[in-house]
């Protein structure tokens, strides 16, 4: 052996733990109601792995990856016997001031690469293959901004789990053996009111986020009258155990249209953890003391998916295809 790790070719499908990339596409589609559309979508899901290789192998340093997530409604329509224990549609949340809407989506494709052209090429081929079986409901092209900052100017992603903490936080384990290695995925597309944010003094922005802006140091707000975003998004159980999620938020925008956004994407072993974060952000802790980040950021979408591990996805596709063939 040459000592090179050949099995670590950096292209993979369903790799939740793929490295954070400099480009991403977030594609959400609905699948048509007829059997033909369902069959087509299932067969494209079954070939995803090959498509990632076909495009990704053209430049291995581009580190192309794609994760497909399946929504609850489609899951049921595919006629699969079992489904992940917690999978359900995104439940809208109505706080006293801000609301998180629930929006349509049967399939999510989270496409990542070091090159925007690789994401583009993969998405183009994927949509070609899906053809008329799907309708695109949302398509966002994200980019990594300076120092991994969001467009509000704060470093975003610092508290993400790393090393062995990553699978422990993001991947389903033995508690739901059939779906071990998969992950619940929640997405929300936020648009920012940049003018209002710019008028907010930096010290107040820092209080809202819970970190300093320039050097990204955590601010202790245990005794503050209002909790920061960071503190509201920190989930602990009665024994003080903390539950993390894996976020791969990306900025996006079109300055010419005054559009400035953050695409939130969270992967979690337990769906309840993300739901609790959202409850704390929108309802507040105590109720009414909601996340002031929402005064400057409005969610336009909200959808929940489950991204099965690669071997599980293959098995699900085969089972769905058999079921659809019998029903025909
Ligand atoms: C932390 C930005 C939405 C969950 C942070 C931080 C920033 C940030 C700058 C601090 C640095 C870091 O640890 O990453 C944003 C923006 C959002 C957004 C701009 C949308 C406009 C959300 C949503 C959730 C969430 C919707 C969950 C449902 C978290 C978590 C942390 C965090 C878990 C880490 C908390 C800790 O320190 O343990 N976010 N966020 N964020 N955010 Fe968000």
Amino acid 124: pLDDT: 98
Ligand 1 pocket, 277 CB below 6 A?
yes
Ligand 1 pocket, 264 CB below 6 A?
yes
Nearest CA to ligand 1 atom 27: 277
Amino acid 18: pLDDT: 77
Residue 157 CA to ligand 1 centre (angstroms): 7
Assess contact for 95 and 44: CB atoms under 8 A. no
Give pLDDT tens digits for 31-43. Answer: 999 999 999 999 9
Assess contact for 92 and 102: CB atoms under 8 A. yes
Q: Does this complex have an ipTM over 0.90?
A: yes
Nearest CA to ligand 1 atom 22: 264
Ligand 1 pocket, 234 CB below 6 A?
yes
Give pLDDT tens digits for 154-203. Answer: 999 999 999 899 999 999 999 999 999 999 999 999 999 999 999 999 99
How many residues are there in the chain? 328
Residue to substitute in 230, 240, 280 for testing ligand 1 pocket (most ligand atoms within 8 angstroms of CB):
230
% of the chain surpassing 70 pLDDT: 96
What ranges do the domains of the chain cover?
A: 6-327
d(CA 168, CA 159): 15
Residue 10 CA to ligand 1 centre (angstroms): 27
Residue 244 among the catalytic residues: no
Ligand 1 pocket, 153 CB below 6 A?
no
Average pLDDT, the chain: 94
Give the β-pairing of 250-254 and 259-268.
antiparallel
Q: Exactly one of 138, 156, 244, 248 is catalytic; name it.
A: 156
Residue 1 has pLDDT above 80, yes or no: no
Residue 229 CA to ligand 1 centre (angstroms): 7
Residue 234 CA to ligand 1 centre (angstroms): 9
């Amino acid at each position: 052996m040459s000592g090179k790790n050949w099995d670590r070719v950096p292209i993979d499908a369903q790799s939740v733990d793929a490295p954070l990339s400099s480009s991403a596409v977030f594609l959400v589609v609905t699948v048509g109601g007829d059997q033909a559309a369902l069959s087509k979508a299932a067969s494209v899901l079954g070939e995803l792995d090959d498509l990632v290789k076909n495009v990704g192998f053209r430049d291995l340093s581009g580190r192309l990856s794609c994760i497909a997530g399946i929504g609850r409604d489609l899951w049921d329509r595919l006629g699969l016997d079992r489904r992940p224990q917690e999978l359900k549609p995104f439940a809208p949340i109505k706080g006293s001031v801000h609301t998180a809407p629930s929006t349509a989506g049967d399939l999510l494709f989270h496409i990542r690469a070091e090159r925007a052209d690789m994401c583009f090429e993969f998405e183009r081929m994927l949509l070609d293959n899906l053809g008329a079986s799907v309708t695109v409901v949302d398509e966002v092209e994200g980019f990594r901004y300076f120092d991994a900052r969001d467009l509000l100017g704060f470093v975003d992603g610092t508290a993400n789990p790393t090393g062995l903490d990553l699978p422990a936080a993001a991947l389903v384990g033995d508690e739901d053996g059939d779906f071990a290695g998969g992950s619940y995925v929640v997405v929300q597309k936020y648009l920012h009111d940049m003018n209002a944010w710019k008028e907010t003094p930096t010290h107040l922005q820092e209080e809202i986020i819970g970190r300093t802006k320039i050097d990204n140091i955590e601010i202790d707000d245990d005794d503050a009258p209002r909790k920061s975003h960071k503190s509201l998004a920190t989930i602990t159980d009665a024994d003080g155990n903390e539950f993390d999620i894996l976020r791969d938020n990306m900025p996006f925008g079109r300055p010419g249209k005054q559009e400035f956004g953050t695409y939130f994407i969270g992967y979690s072993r337990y769906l309840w953890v993300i739901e609790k974060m959202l409850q704390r952000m929108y309802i507040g802790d105590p109720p009414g003391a909601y996340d002031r980040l929402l005064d400057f950021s409005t969610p336009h979408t909200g959808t929940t998916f489950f991204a099965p591990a690669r071997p599980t996805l293959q098995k699900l596709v085969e089972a769905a295809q058999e079921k659809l063939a019998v029903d025909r």
